[in-house]
Amino acid sequence: MPFIPHTEDDIREMLAALGTASIGVLFDEIPASLRCRPLDLPPALKEMEVARLMHARAGQNRPLLCFAGAGAYEHHVPAAVWAVAGRGEFYSAYTPYQAEASQGTLHVLYEYQSMMASLTALDVSNASLYDGATSLAEAVLMAVRTNRKSHSRRILMPKTVHPFYRRVVETIVGSQALELIELPYDLETGRIDPAALETHSGTDVAALVIPQINFFGVLEAVDELTDWAAANGAIAIALVNPMALAVLKPPGEWGREGADIACGDGQPLGIPLSGGGPYFGFMCCRKAHLHQLPGRLVGRTVDVDGKPGFTLTLQAREQHIRRGRATSNICTNQGLMVTAATIYMALLGPEGLRRVALQSHRNTVSLMQGLAGIEGVDRVFAGPFFHEAVIRTRRPAREIMDGLAERGILGGYELTREYPELGEAILVCVTETRTREDIESYLCEIASLLGHD
């Protein structure tokens, strides 16, 4: 779709029709202190000059061997995924409000919902949200709406949840009279501290967030945590990595009753790393909570001739009603990211996803075993892991990361800022894309940086 800016004559004509003197009058409800000041932009360039500038900037990029995760993961994406998702029917499709003209898009979304419900072992999936962090915020709001026995609006938020996610949740729910209570972690295992959780037993808690896998890459004791939530009248919110669900117990089967809500970021399912996005969030829940589920739902029916058809359904939950009564207004990602994820899951199937997950775990085990033999490197937590783990080095983490980068390796995610109590700690990730030679290279270079030449 071409961008066609308004001319000065267009603007004058529209203002005259409105009986308004200037565009600024239209925004007078926004306090002056919140408005952007004039942007400090460089002079305009010609098309050829812009192309030359972009090529020069792109040339400054240096590809690094990636051992970083921390919420965004490098998985192999088969070429067929984006060859299909990039077709015009999907690439430029708008929200499928008009069912008779959007059967292809609606069908894809229906298949996506079916796959995600199967992956999480829960009854219902929506058709996606913005990203993993906002899906957690929406899950927290949904839990408060759902848990009518609770009057406290208190949410237990473990410190083992991604720190960026916690900040997004605080931003979104902070002005809605919800209380986020931080749960500390056990310094030995890297899991939620069970003693800290017990201090809330018998109190009015609306929901407990359970990350699996947690931000340290450690597997939480999800069965015990889910049962604790059920016993204390709290909604259990599972924050999960969808790739890990190919080999781990799904949220719908946690504990005696299963989690109530599952959410997370769908990036591992066929979405490439690209400077932080665009990604997409997912959310599933039990059928009993269906009417509080945010985002869109696609339903399947049959026409008068018995042929299957698809349409948006249960829209009284969504933004078609008054804004203040809608469950959410974040529903914009279905057009492309979810299409790619659906194709990715369809191509790999359950067995393909399982192989990716297992190979990622095997590679991580191989790296950790190699690091254990290097003096000056220690694994921080004793708990079981999937494809990430925290290491501590005797040299400052910043120096290790810079040294690896100079050798062409993105060595992980430095934890010293968000978790200073861990010392010189680095979160390292290995997916199925890393070869034996890649892992040997990492071990060799970090040993060199620690003086083991």
Checking if the pLDDT of 273 tops 70, the result is: yes
Q: Residues 112, 128: contact at Cβ < 8 Å?
A: yes
Checking if the pLDDT of 15 tops 70, the result is: yes
Centre a 10 Å sphere on the Cβ of residue 104 and count the other Cβ atoms it contains.
15
Cα(316)–Cα(327) distance, integer angstroms = 9
- Alpha-helix runs per DSSP H in 60-187: 79-85, 88-91, 103-120, 132-146, 163-173
The whole-number pLDDT of residue 1 equals 47
Domain ranges across the chain? 65-74+349-451, 79-344
Chain-centroid distance, C-alpha 429: 16
**CATH topology for the 65-74+349-451 domain:** Aspartate Aminotransferase, domain 1 (3.90.1150)
Cα(352)–Cα(345) distance, integer angstroms = 8
Mean pLDDT of the chain: 93
Checking if the pLDDT of 332 tops 70, the result is: no
pLDDT band for 100, please (50, 70, 90 cuts): confident
Checking if the pLDDT of 175 tops 90, the result is: no
One-letter identity of residue 357:
A
The residues, any chain, with a CB within 8 Å of residue 39's CB and separated by 6 or more, are none
Phi and psi at 297, nearest 5°, equal -125, 140
Q: Residues 298, 117: contact at Cβ < 8 Å?
A: no
The residues, any chain, with a CB within 8 Å of residue 226's CB and separated by 6 or more, are 210, 236, 238, 254, 255, 256, 257, 258, 259
Tell whether omega for the bond before 213 is within 30 degrees of 0, i.e. cis.
Answer: yes
pLDDT band for 121, please (50, 70, 90 cuts): very high
Least confident of 23-32, 177-186, 221-230: 23-32
Q: Which of 430, 378, 367, 416 is nearest to 69 (CA)?
A: 430
The residues, any chain, with a CB within 8 Å of residue 331's CB and separated by 6 or more, are 95, 127, 128, 129, 294, 295, 296, 318, 319
Decide: residue 248, CB within 10 A, 0-12 exposed, 13-18 middle, 19+ buried: middle
Cα(340)–Cα(271) distance, integer angstroms = 7
Q: Residues 69, 385: contact at Cβ < 8 Å?
A: no
pLDDT digits (tens, 9 = 90+) for 201-213: 999 999 999 999 9
Least confident of 24-28, 342-346, 358-362, 421-425: 24-28
Q: Residues 122, 260: contact at Cβ < 8 Å?
A: no
Architecture of domain 79-344: 3-Layer(aba) Sandwich (3.40)
296: which DSSP letter? -
State which H helix or E strand residue 389 sits in: strand 388-393
What value, to the nearest 5°, has the Cα angle with vertex 384 and ends 382 and 390?
60
Using a cut of 0.85, tell me whether the model's pTM lies above it.
yes
Give the residue-averaged pLDDT of 394-408.
96
Give the residue-averaged pLDDT of 256-278.
94
Percent of the chain predicted with pLDDT > 70: 96
Q: Residues 376, 450: contact at Cβ < 8 Å?
A: yes
The residues, any chain, with a CB within 8 Å of residue 42's CB and separated by 6 or more, are none
